[in-house]
Amino acid sequence: MNELTTTNVEIGGSDQVGSVTAPGRGVDLDGTLNITLTNGFVPAPCESFPIMSWGDAVGSFATVNGPDLSGAQTFTAHYLANGLEVTAPPSNPGECED
């Protein structure tokens, strides 16, 4: 992926998540990630969704776009060793902390 790449992911429910799999090594993340909710779905505060999986990746998306879910907040991207998940914002500050 490069700075001109746009990746679109739809989330339509807890079990209806579009995802991207890159099983090989060397995924270079960049560009824009667009997250769209479908089927009238509204995630619960702090609910997480795995949207990408990979064998190895470097970098991060330059821009993450999504719907306003709590005030002006949208999903937060969490880059893991083997994938990417996004988490809906909390309704109250500190709510998603472990």
What does each of the 98 residues of the chain score in pLDDT, given as a tens digit? 556 688 899 999 877 787 777 766 667 888 999 999 999 999 999 999 999 888 888 899 999 999 988 777 889 999 998 899 999 988 887 777 76
In a domain, 96, yes or no: no
In a domain, 93, yes or no: no
Q: Where are the beta strands (DSSP E) in the chain?
A: 6-13, 16-17, 20-22, 27-29, 32-37, 48-54, 57-59, 63-65, 76-80, 83-87
What pTM does this model have?
0.83
Sign of CA dihedral 15, 39, 18, 51: negative
Token pair of 60 as six digits: 């991060």
Question: Residue 51's domain spans which residues?
Answer: 6-87
In a domain, 97, yes or no: no
In a domain, 41, yes or no: yes
In a domain, 94, yes or no: no
